[in-house]
Amino acid sequence: MTPRTEFAPGLSIQGITPPLRLRDFKLIAFDMDSTLINIECVDEIADAAGRKAEVAAITEAAMRGEIADYKESLRRRVALLAGVSVEHLEHVYRQRLKLHPGAAELVLACKGAGLKVLLVSGGFTFFTDRLRERLALDFARSNQLEIVDGRLTGRLLDQHWGDICDGAEKRRTLLQACDLIGCTPAQAIAMGDGANDLEMMAAAGLSVAYRAKPKVRQQAHIAIDMGGLDRLLEVVQP
């Protein structure tokens, strides 16, 4: 890619020549934790088990790309959640989870330009299902926590597509969505913040890093370091 240049304060680009047109794309894929929303859900769930610091340290290392096996890192974190109640998950969703600024506005702009919207996450269906309904998203894929008698068991359930939504699965999901709607990966936008987003970002025609880890920021076409998600519309015009 060409060297990164500052497009506007807190907004930089590389390898693209703006302005781009939103209507030239057909799909936008969002990561959830720390991209579409303000928290890492697994860390907030761990708070109820008194293990937040321990879990958050693993999450940070995984997002920075310092842990090679994302699946194993997630299994380790989920095991530490055993015994947490569904009521605490509800509390996390109602009281701690917030959309990042500009999230709803960007989704509406994309839908208005005819794009389909995918939420693909290494997080959990408990949250992605609610966000899919709340924002009227077209597709969502994430991991399913096992719940027995109203409490987490510390395990994940296999789903029809596989076991864990890691970086490779995010890429595969983006490509499947492209096939489903009849577009090429070059017509897709992928937005994320962590190392497990890099594979889908590399597969998409346009990659966007939002308040991202250094490794992700370095590789993205667009890096948004200040302001809301809808700053993408400064580069990719509706």
pLDDT digits (tens, 9 = 90+) for 57-77: 999 999 999 988 999 999 999
Q: What is the pLDDT of residues 180-235, one digit of tens each?
A: 999 999 999 999 999 999 999 999 999 999 999 999 999 999 999 999 999 999 99
Q: Which residue has the tokens 């506005």?
A: 105
> Dihedrals φ, ψ of 112, to 5°?
-65, -25
Return the pLDDT at 124.
Answer: 98
Rounded to whole angstroms, how far apart are CA atoms 22 and 24? 5
Q: Annotated catalytic residue: which of 24, 31, 69, 163?
A: 31
With contact defined as beta carbons under 8 Å apart, do 131 and 30 qualify? no
230 annotated active-site: no
Res. 162: pLDDT tops 70: yes
Rounded to whole angstroms, how far apart are CA atoms 30 and 140? 9
Portion of the chain with pLDDT greater than 90, in percent: 96
Q: What is the pLDDT of residues 121-146, one digit of tens each?
A: 999 999 999 999 999 999 999 999 99
Mean pLDDT of all residues in 106-121: 98
- The DSSP line for 41-95 is HHHHHHHHTT-HHHHHHHHHHHHTT--S-HHHHHHHHHHTTTT-BHHHHHHIIII
List the domains of the chain with CATH numbers. Answer: 5-39+99-237 (3.40.50.1000)
The two three-digit tokens of residue 32, written as one number: 């959830």
Res. 2: pLDDT tops 70: no
> Dihedrals φ, ψ of 154, to 5°?
90, 15
Return the pLDDT at 199.
Answer: 98
Q: Distance from first CA to last CA of the chain, Å, rounded?
A: 25
- Partners of 151 in the beta sheet? 85, 148
> Dihedrals φ, ψ of 140, to 5°?
-150, 140
Q: Annotated catalytic residue: which of 24, 33, 69, 138?
A: 33
Mean pLDDT of the chain: 96
Return the pLDDT at 68.
Answer: 81
Return the pLDDT at 3.
Answer: 82
Nearest one of 62, 63, 40, 64 to 52, comparing CA atoms: 40
